[in-house]
Structure 1
Amino acid sequence: MAARLIQRCSRLLAAARSFQASPVSILSECPRSCPPPLPLASPLHTSAPCRYTDSLPALKQKASGQSEKDFVAVIQSASTAEELLQISTEHGKNANRAAAIINQIAKVTDGNKVAAVVNDKRFGELLSTVNRQIQVIWNARLVGLLRSLHLLQLDNKNLFLRSVETEVRWRLRKFSIELLGRLARVIVPCAQTEEQKVLVLDLAKTVELRWTEVRDTKTLVNVIYSLSQVSKTLLERMEDKVLEFAELFTPEESRTITMALAAQNCRSLPILRALSFHLVQRNMDLSSAVIIDLLYAYAKLNFSQQQVLQKMASDLLPKVPELSSREMSGCIRSFSSLRYLNLPLCEAIAQACLERSPSLTPAQLSSIILSFAHLNFLPSQQEEFFTMVVQRLSSELDSLSPPLLVDLVWSLCVLQLVTPDFLQKALEPQIYNQFMGNANKPTNYSLKLTQINATAQLECPEYRGPLIPLSLLSASSPPAGGSNLSALQTDIRNVLLDVFPAKETCAFSRKTVYGHHIDAEFIYDSENKPLALRNFVDPHVLHSSGTDALPEGARRFAVKSWEFSNYCLRTKDLTGVYALCRRHLRAAGFLVVEVPFYEWQDLKSEWQKSAFLKDQIKKVVAEEMSL
């Protein structure tokens, strides 16, 4: 404050001398701000009045700006690094221009020629100039310089790179929020050393304090994509900004934000819903690259919204012939993870598989078949598709990894396309011993092997072995629910306790050797009266307690509840694994009493629920008698 006061006083004194005003008049006009003039041994430095000096820097800046514009045009016209290095001999003495030349070199240099450019003496002189005058380099050009040095693959311990990073760190508070967003895209992917990681943390803290300054979608995307993994607090604050700007996002920006959420497994429903809503509302055709990335992110975050999935499937349908095999398998895998069945798209992908079967790798074809199995989808050209699969994969079974082999054979079991040769390959001891009875292996594969074994027993009478031993099936049996019952399962159990008051006549949460569990089991005799379960042999359970065979005319019932997640999205079609469960239970001799969630939720009273179960039992009996 004192320095500014002295400066103003000196200017007023200089103006007084130039206008020949008396000291008395000056003191009378500003008695509080100006001290009495002191006698000077040397002439006082005189300058123009304040109103004239304020305009001089602007004039200089305008003149230098014009020359800077010409300089930028010159370096942008250069197409090779050699031309730019030649220009640097004339214009490389100024730090700002040296930084601009380096930035342009990074843009035009091929990756194979980076080493030759970096080792050039003229490039070293540019770095030296930048290092000596780094304080005067413009902020935007400094951030661009940092990006260029990383593109030119300078070592992270390089002195010039560290000098630029240190200057950037000192200027963080002076950068605009837009420049901070650009800096985040530059430094976060390259942060390896401790100094670089500290710079990233400082950058995240700075943006946290200034997040309200974000005014454009590009900056918002840069901040979320780069810094959301560093600071969860920042991501929470950015949710409000995303909702504010969601209407303005391009599909590419929506993809970037969604991929950033998926990268850190952050299932932010407000953001996902807002982005999906505006993607649907806009009448814009989404590119295949955007669709594939969005599908991957939605599948990873388990976010299903029918309208946006329908739009993506419709936009992707005419582009199927243009997709690569990898993209085709990836998009249908994402749709299957989201349980979304779009028949035209699946038919188009099946047709593309028939047309380009030689170009599909066994892994890609197996992935597509697995996706079809999850959705329980069979192409209209079923015979041709099956023939292609057999011809393409029969000779490749020995080369498939055990997990991929199990996935493939299980998928064929679901689609009812499996042959004894495929079953025999999957049920070899050297295959199932890698997964069965081993708690360290994924239970998903042991469960699939159990269901493959059940298919061989129940649906493939020509199969002669081998089979998985009962001891291994016991060790790898699926959980039966127990205390983790859903609300639907709990309601059904309570109602069945009233329908079957005798405890011995109804058993709950039964494990089976087929890789499925049932919610309840009971037996009716020929007069539709319940019998005690413990008296009869249970060939479908791991350890049977009874010894008697079922009397003539008796029927064994299995109650199976179907949750919302057991169906394809917004349909009444079961997904593949649950359709397989129903087939296996029927093949094992059960009359399956099905309780869909969409029918049960409409029942309000206990009397209605009890009547519904009794009606379902009568319906199943009538269907069995009509066969």
Structure 2
Amino acid sequence: MSARALWRQAATLRVIAHSPCGPVYRAQHLSSEWKNGKVQKEKKSQTVQHPPSADNAEGCSLVYNPSAYYQSRTELSAIQRGSLREEETSEPIPGAGFRQQSNHYMIGSSRHLSISKNAQLGFGFNREVAYKGRKVDHSKDDISTYVKRDTRAFQRCRPEYSMMTYDVSQRPPAIQIKDGLLLLHKAALMKNIDASNIAHFLCELGHLEPEQTVTVRGNMRFSMLLRYSVENLQNFTHLQLIEVLRAFVRLGLSHHHSILDLYEAEFSRRTNEMELHQLLLVADLWRCLGRSVPQYVEKLCDCISKHFNQMGPPELVQFVYILGESRQCPAFVLQCLEGIIMRHLEELKGEEVGAVCLGLFKTQNSLSEGALRRLVDRACVVVKEMSDFGIVNVMKLMRFSHLDHLPWLETLSSEVPRRAPQMAVQGLMHIALTCSALHYRDDRVLLAVAKRLPHLPSQYRSKDAAKLLWAFGNLGILPSQCPSLHPRLTEVLRDRESEFRSYPEHLLTALLGLAFVGQFPHDLLSLALSPEFTNQVTGLIDLKKDLFTLDGTVAIELPGWTGPRMNPTIQEEVTKQLWDFAESELCQKPEVLEAEAVLQELLGGKVFVHKRMILPHMRSIDLEVYLDPSGNPLPVASETYQSHYNPDKGSFWPLDWKEMHTGVTLTDDLLAQLTSGKKTAMSMTMSSQQPILRPVEVSIKRESILSVGVDLTDDLLHAITKRQHSSIHSHATSESAIARLAVQVTSRNHYCYRTQRLTGLYMMKRRQLALAGYTVVELPHWEWFPLLRRSLAERLAYMHCKIFSSFDSRNSK
């Protein structure tokens, strides 16, 4: 059928639709199908009914169904050569290859769009073809899903933000849906529509009520209007183009609509020509659409340097917000931003400080330590005017930067207990998680969070429950301190079990956090160690390590466990990986090497000290030492053990025992050095006591041992020298009588911040070493590290006191 005939038929339909007749009509539609390379035309009859409406002056109308102009799948695939993209339509609409002359809205041939351009636009009109009848939920296209009120609260701090942001809560005076459809009708009838007309029509349509926009978005006239806007992209002025984008936001256009690619490219091309406020407004509108525009943000960063001098506090904060939401920030921009932030720091208000912290956190970038401390200093000043959301943002940046800002942490001691009863799960989780990451334990903060959590409704994700359990376990908050917390979070894990298929790390994180404090839910452990779950995580090395830690913990702490266990092959693989890392990193630390050397010198050789991972699943090393019931060192099973084993005597003692060094040779010079030329005068009662340990302070001038840590008593002198005169047992010592010592060189990372309280992982390791029959000998960093600058004699005396004090304590139990 020709275009002229189609015009006449459509005109006839319009005339009938406006005549005072009955509500039932017969309308003929044409469809084209490809058969044997030719177009076959077929007439179809369709009954269209529409009840009289009060809004209709004529009392009747005709609902015209354009889906009759359909295109076969063969033709559609031949034109588009690819998958179609989903668009928001409320009724079936012809495919992308639909020719203009077949349009019943009589678009003039002067505005005909070629098939190639249609294919470029990629309109997915035929939803059934593109998505095979899949039901689509467009609720996620709501603006509120992408633009949370809290993240934009800073924009209410100053009126200047209105020039560079879009306020989603304010809309222009509304128009009725019939006025919107009339606008579309006028646009369809215009023969020479230009850029200004298109911008006018789209802006007017943006005045519709939000619930009525879906009708417009599904109208084919609106789709054609979008096509004409693409044709006129380069003809829009900057202001017109920005207003069109604003109209898209008000109309709720889908963030994955195909024409937005072309709009992003056009805005990116114009970045060098636009003003600073225009650049920021465009970026904010893209954010309101919920669309990621990396190309535009990259161009924005490239040209922003020429606008740095124009940046005041609102421009700065809005720019950091945009960078955070786009998750990108080039290094050269960050360097410049640090200077601008420092320049305007004292002018920033509470919510603006929080917005800057959140933006930096989302870009996974931080400032220099000095600048970061000044930023958190400012947060301390304005903390009273900050929202809960702003405080959480500061905590996020501190966690990412691992900043121990003590004044801010002390401020939380009063702020969190006051705010916790009104806070939601996610905010409380981030506070607890930051305290855990910084190893900062403040019971006032943590117990206030723990008190609030069990009373919240079902707001938990598996992620929230897992990270909360990890945080409280890592900081050593026991179930007895908050009886309702751990059962509540464990129940959340059971309720969210289905999420572990997509996020297996959450289950392992939660179970390790529970294991830190001695909690072992058997059903969840069985799930984590099941073959199905194990196979799911075997491709992820970090998760395999977590699973290995959990499996080893079950083996030691649940001896009656009958549930599934980790595959032995995977155990060996992970053990090798962990030891390779420990051998190249942990074993080479200076403090560990020195402790090993001092122990070897004290006990008589390398054969008596074995540096290894006693508990491989705990991912840390120990110096293993064996002592017989008399306190004499025994060789430890290691590579060097074979060369010293005496098979003739069937003994654990090495060959040529008397020729080997069995202790410290006490010479006159060493004795004079230890005693400064005289022996300490002590009463008989005091001389029978164990050597007294004192804190060792770092001193520039070399001091004698009497003033740096150990009192030299008669017993200590005898203990140092008696090894040379003690008799050697020729028979093997029984296994049960051997004292197995695990010497640990600890660092600050093993303890909570500024305390001597171990974190959850190392607390669990101590517990498991005790269950495995080991006595832990700790060389804490506040004692051992200062001794690294002292003489060997002082380190030997200190090590002797540590080893044999632990041995005597073990035997006295």
Contact residue 84 and residue 101 of structure 1 kept, 8 A: no
Q: C-alpha separation between the residues in 2 aligned to 1:357 and 1:472? A: 40
Report the alpha carbon displacement of residue 96 of structure 1 after superposing the two structures with TM: 9.0
Distance 1:286 1:100, change over 3 A: farther
Q: Does 1:476 align with 2:571?
A: no
Q: Which amino acid aligns with 1:482?
A: E
Distance 1:87 1:614, change over 3 A: farther
User: What does residue 319 of structure 1 align with?
Assistant: 419
Q: Does 1:510 align with 2:651?
A: no
Contact residue 518 and residue 558 of structure 1 kept, 8 A: no
Q: C-alpha separation between the residues in 2 aligned to 1:164 and 1:432? A: 44
- 2:302 corresponds, among 172, 187, 205, to 205
Worse overlay, 469-478 or 233-242:
469-478
Q: C-alpha separation between the residues in 1 aligned to 2:605 and 2:242? A: 78
Distance 1:506 1:252, change over 3 A: same
Distance 1:413 1:499, change over 3 A: same
Distance 1:163 1:505, change over 3 A: closer
Q: Does 1:529 align with 2:715?
A: no
- 2:596 corresponds, among 477, 493, 499, to 493
Contact residue 561 and residue 597 of structure 1 kept, 8 A: yes
Q: Which amino acid aligns with 2:807?
A: V
Q: SS of the counterpart of 2:344?
A: helix
Worse overlay, 569-578 or 616-625:
616-625
Q: Does 1:259 align with 2:349?
A: no
Q: Does 1:272 align with 2:372?
A: yes
Q: C-alpha separation between the residues in 1 aligned to 2:280 and 2:498? A: 51
CA shift digits 1:479-529 (9 cap, x unpaired)? 362121334323423433433441101111334355354331111223322
Q: C-alpha separation between the residues in 1 aligned to 2:775 and 2:749? A: 23
Contact residue 313 and residue 345 of structure 1 kept, 8 A: yes
Q: Which amino acid aligns with 2:321?
A: Y
Q: Which amino acid aligns with 2:593?
A: T
CA shift digits 1:88-134 (9 cap, x unpaired)? 99xx9999999699668647742652552796989999999999999
Q: Does 1:284 align with 2:470?
A: no
User: What does residue 3 of structure 2 align with?
Assistant: none
Worse overlay, 211-220 or 510-519:
510-519
Q: C-alpha separation between the residues in 1 aligned to 2:442 and 2:500? A: 29
Report the alpha carbon displacement of residue 559 of structure 1 after superposing the two structures with TM: 1.0
Q: SS of the counterpart of 1:520?
A: strand
- 1:418 corresponds, among 504, 520, 523, to 520
Report the alpha carbon displacement of residue 343 of structure 1 after superposing the two structures with TM: 1.0
Q: C-alpha separation between the residues in 1 aligned to 2:523 and 2:181? A: 70
Q: Which amino acid aligns with 1:318?
A: R
Report the alpha carbon displacement of residue 254 of structure 1 after superposing the two structures with TM: 2.6
Worse overlay, 439-448 or 240-249:
439-448
- 1:448 corresponds, among 550, 555, 579, to 550
Worse overlay, 443-452 or 351-360:
351-360
Report the alpha carbon displacement of residue 237 of structure 1 after superposing the two structures with TM: 1.7
Q: Which amino acid aligns with 1:78?
A: P
Distance 1:175 1:576, change over 3 A: same
Q: SS of the counterpart of 1:528?
A: coil
Distance 1:179 1:82, change over 3 A: same
Worse overlay, 580-589 or 361-370:
361-370
Report the alpha carbon displacement of residue 294 of structure 1 after superposing the two structures with TM: 3.3
Contact residue 383 and residue 391 of structure 2 kept, 8 A: no
- 2:773 corresponds, among 572, 589, 613, to 589
Q: SS of the counterpart of 1:582?
A: helix
Q: C-alpha separation between the residues in 2 aligned to 1:365 and 1:150? A: 35
Q: C-alpha separation between the residues in 1 aligned to 2:296 and 2:457? A: 51
Q: C-alpha separation between the residues in 1 aligned to 2:262 and 2:436? A: 48
Q: C-alpha separation between the residues in 1 aligned to 2:423 and 2:243? A: 35
Q: SS of the counterpart of 1:560?
A: strand
Contact residue 432 and residue 468 of structure 1 kept, 8 A: yes
Report the alpha carbon displacement of residue 553 of structure 1 after superposing the two structures with TM: 4.8
Distance 1:156 1:409, change over 3 A: closer
Report the alpha carbon displacement of residue 324 of structure 1 after superposing the two structures with TM: 2.9
Q: C-alpha separation between the residues in 2 aligned to 1:434 and 1:121? A: 50
Contact residue 85 and residue 122 of structure 1 kept, 8 A: no
Superposed counterparts of 1:64-75, under 5 Å:
none
Report the alpha carbon displacement of residue 472 of structure 1 after superposing the two structures with TM: 5.0
- 1:328 corresponds, among 419, 428, 445, to 428
User: What does residue 621 of structure 1 align with?
Assistant: 807
User: What does residue 305 of structure 1 align with?
Assistant: 405
Q: SS of the counterpart of 1:442?
A: helix
Report the alpha carbon displacement of residue 297 of structure 1 after superposing the two structures with TM: 3.9
Report the alpha carbon displacement of residue 334 of structure 1 after superposing the two structures with TM: 3.7
Q: C-alpha separation between the residues in 2 aligned to 1:133 and 1:508? A: 71
User: What does residue 377 of structure 1 align with?
Assistant: 477
Report the alpha carbon displacement of residue 594 of structure 1 after superposing the two structures with TM: 0.9
Contact residue 259 and residue 293 of structure 1 kept, 8 A: yes
Structure 1 residue ranges without an equivalent (≥5): 1-74, 539-545
Scaled by the length of structure 2, the TM-score of the pair is 0.55
Q: C-alpha separation between the residues in 2 aligned to 1:493 and 1:326? A: 46
Report the alpha carbon displacement of residue 386 of structure 1 after superposing the two structures with TM: 5.8
CA shift digits 1:548-590 (9 cap, x unpaired)? 6646753111111222222222322111011101111122221
Q: C-alpha separation between the residues in 2 aligned to 1:626 and 1:142? A: 85
Distance 1:123 1:355, change over 3 A: closer
Report the alpha carbon displacement of residue 424 of structure 1 after superposing the two structures with TM: 5.7
Structure 2 residue ranges without an equivalent (≥5): 1-169, 188-192, 642-650, 653-731
Q: C-alpha separation between the residues in 2 aligned to 1:113 and 1:523? A: 79
User: What does residue 606 of structure 1 align with?
Assistant: 791
CA shift digits 1:127-173 (9 cap, x unpaired)? 99999999896x667645534435532886659x968974x667644
Distance 1:497 1:96, change over 3 A: farther
- 1:555 corresponds, among 739, 753, 775, to 739
Contact residue 173 and residue 206 of structure 1 kept, 8 A: yes
Contact residue 549 and residue 617 of structure 2 kept, 8 A: no
Contact residue 184 and residue 222 of structure 1 kept, 8 A: no
Q: C-alpha separation between the residues in 1 aligned to 2:202 and 2:513? A: 56
User: What does residue 158 of structure 2 align with?
Assistant: none
Contact residue 354 and residue 385 of structure 1 kept, 8 A: yes
Q: SS of the counterpart of 1:568?
A: coil
Aligned-CA RMSD value: 4.8
Contact residue 410 and residue 451 of structure 1 kept, 8 A: no
Report the alpha carbon displacement of residue 182 of structure 1 after superposing the two structures with TM: 3.1
Contact residue 613 and residue 620 of structure 2 kept, 8 A: yes
Report the alpha carbon displacement of residue 445 of structure 1 after superposing the two structures with TM: 2.2
Distance 1:215 1:140, change over 3 A: farther
Contact residue 437 and residue 472 of structure 1 kept, 8 A: no
Q: Which amino acid aligns with 2:303?
A: T
Q: SS of the counterpart of 2:786?
A: coil
Q: C-alpha separation between the residues in 2 aligned to 1:171 and 1:359? A: 44
User: What does residue 225 of structure 1 align with?
Assistant: 321
Distance 1:468 1:135, change over 3 A: closer
Q: C-alpha separation between the residues in 1 aligned to 2:294 and 2:525? A: 53
Query: Which structure carries more helix by proportion?
Result: 1
Contact residue 564 and residue 597 of structure 1 kept, 8 A: yes
Scaled by the length of structure 1, the TM-score of the pair is 0.69
Distance 1:78 1:131, change over 3 A: farther
Distance 1:587 1:244, change over 3 A: same
Q: C-alpha separation between the residues in 2 aligned to 1:174 and 1:330? A: 41
Worse overlay, 434-443 or 499-508:
434-443
Distance 1:422 1:264, change over 3 A: closer
Worse overlay, 323-332 or 379-388:
379-388
